[in-house]
Structure 1
Amino acid sequence: MRATMNIKISGLVLGMLTAAAPLFAQDNGNGQTNTNSFKPALEHRILAGFNFGGTAPVGLPNTIRKINSYRPEFSPSLGYELSYRRTEKWGAAIAVKLAYKGMATKDEVQYFPTIITTSDGGRFEGDFTGKNKTTVRNAYVSFPVSAVYTPNNRWRFNLGGYVAWLFSSNFYGTVSDGYIRNGGSLGEKVNITSATFDFGTEVRSFDAGLQGGAAYRVGKKLSVNGNLNWGLRPIFPDDFKGMDFPLYNIYLTLGVTYKI
């Protein structure tokens, strides 16, 4: 199952870039490369910003009954991009970024499959009903690859995919004011005043997905930009028992770029 998912993700990213490649060679309506005054060139940029979003399911599971609060964690992003402008409007880019992705939520759940540990060392695996607080703060080294379109001297658009490797993971929280059915929905009912969970070591070391955005030039070399990163691979493996639905990294990076 995991191998099949990796092949699908790799094929999707490769197919997207392959489909965009023919565009790099055209610049005008007659399909011929513009050779007037423009010369193909390499461009270098420094990327800096903050990530806003969530490590979240696509659609709210029915075991989550109410979301009481959400806040983004401090999630900076810093990187370097190398791009090649094949024509005046079309090009390609590859980047390397250090990106933190994090959030904190408080919600109320019912019959939520999980694994918890109480203060006296008791460990329970089953369906929990009550209040839940979760904090996520994972750090990745990410490699975005994009097709780039520059329609004029102000705007710049990019669309592509990314692969990323985890180098620091935090996924932990507390549950309280409820009970757990130990072993499943028909198991023994155990009242829970407060308990904890920590799934940081279970987070997958590899992530991949789609990314795209736009930048607007506000100075000779400085631009403001927004870039959406949508993970296609669940952050936990298929056999993970801490929850029964997949979570994906879905984050918007807002920041600046500086052309060197």
Structure 2
Amino acid sequence: MIKRLCISLVAMLCVSYSLKAQEDRNKSIIQSALYGLEYEIKAGFNIGGASPLPLPEEIRALTGYSPNINLAIEGDIIKWLGKKKEWGIILGLRLETKGMEAEARTKNYSMEIFGDGGERLKGNWTGMVKTKFRSSYFSIPLLAAWKPNQRIRLSAGPYFSLKTSGDFSGHVFDGYLRENDPTGNKVKIEGESQAPYDFSKELRQTLWGVEAGITWRAFKHLNVNADLIWGLNDIFKKDFNTITFAMYPIYLNVGFGYSF
């Protein structure tokens, strides 16, 4: 009998503690709402790639492209302003990956490859180039928000990213390299032969750009999000000149969010 009473008492205490914790959470959310604060957790994926703008004449045709799977997880704090709370400020923290695979036919494309003996060969490549790009970032968006109605939210503003890991590599095939300049010694890579390249160490540590998006409140707490994220600086370091044009990360992020 005493044992049953103890078990019942423990169960009652657990239920009471759970209800009290839930009540405290509800009070915190209500209090935040009174101060115009809203919190959101988002998850989605990025579709896009790193691209020069406009395409340089060295790239004659894009013959293949794969966006790969690029996940993004984000937490936002939204501060609504004024009595109507139509305008607000969003501060977020996003953990994301950006990547792609692309294949192109090129002519006189500046390139540095590894030869059969591991030696570096630099010059102008004419032929096929296959590229793999994948990087992970911590990103901080700082956005202005506007609600035309209770279901739609529009947002726009800058973001800043810190690279945590990065890979930019690939290989060339079915063509030839003119060493040092367009009239230099001709190195052919034909048939089944390939020559790799790797510019991963030349990726820039910090990126910045702008983003603009729309959020639709599908249910009381569930949102559907779409954001265009446009990088405004080159993914490569300033002193890297093997690739002679800037490449900008341009991605569309789509996903879902939970507001509370």
| TM-score, reference length from structure 2 | 0.83
Question: 2: CA distance between counterparts of 1:162 and 1:86?
Answer: 21
Shift of 1:185: 1.0
- RMSD (Å) for aligned C-alpha atoms: 1.2
Which of 68, 73, 76 is the matching residue for 1:78? 73
Match of 1:65 in 2: 60
Aligned partners of 1:73 and 1:137 also within 8 Å: no
Measure the CA separation in 2 of the matches of 1:51 and 1:216. Answer: 18
2:178 to 153, 157, 181: 181
Amino acid at match of 1:202: E
Cα-to-partner distance string for 1:55-75 (whole Å, 9 max, x where unaligned): 111111100011111110210
1:6-41 deviation per Cα after TM superposition (whole angstroms, max 9, x unaligned) = xxxxxxxxxxxxxxxxxxxxxxxxxxxxxxxx9541
Counterpart in the other structure of 1:152: 149
Q: Distance in 1 between matches of 2:81 and 2:140?
A: 21
| CA deviations over 1:207-236 (Å, ceiling 9, x no partner) | 001111001111110111100111111011
Deviation at 1:241, TM superposition (A): 2.8
SS in 2 for 1:73: coil
- SS of 1:169's partner is strand
- The residue that corresponds to 2:227 in the other structure is 227
- Look up the match of 1:41: 36
Q: Which amino acid aligns with 2:130?
A: K
Task: Give the Cα separation in 2 of the matches to 1:190 and 1:238.
Answer: 29
Whole-Å separation in 2 of the counterparts to 1:51 and 1:200: 20
Is there any run of 5+ residues in structure 1 with no aligned partner, and where? 1-37
Q: Aligned pair 1:259/2:242, yes or no?
A: no
Residue 55 (1) aligns with residue 50 (2): yes
TM-superposed deviation, 1:97: 0.3
Alpha-carbon distance in structure 2 between the residues aligned to 1:62 and 1:206: 28
Superposed CA deviations along residues 117-175 of structure 1, whole A, max 9, x for unmatched, are 12321311110011110011111100000000011111001010000100010111010
Q: Give the superposition deviation at 1:187.
A: 1.2
Choose 1 or 2 for highest CA Rg.
2
Q: 1:237: Cα distance to partner?
A: 2.1
Contact 1:114 1:241 in 2 (8 A): no
- Equivalent residue pairs, number: 223
Superposed, 1:97-112 pairs within 5 Å as 97-112=94-109
* Preserved contact between residue 118 and residue 194 of structure 1 (Cα < 8 Å): no
Counterpart residue number, 2:240: 240
**Structure 1 CA distance for aligned equivalents of residues 180 and 225 of structure 2:** 48
Percent of aligned pairs with the same residue?
Answer: 36
Provide runs of 4+ in structure 1 moved above 6 Å. none
Give me the TM-score of the superposition, normalised by structure 1.
Answer: 0.83
SS state at 1:172 partner: strand
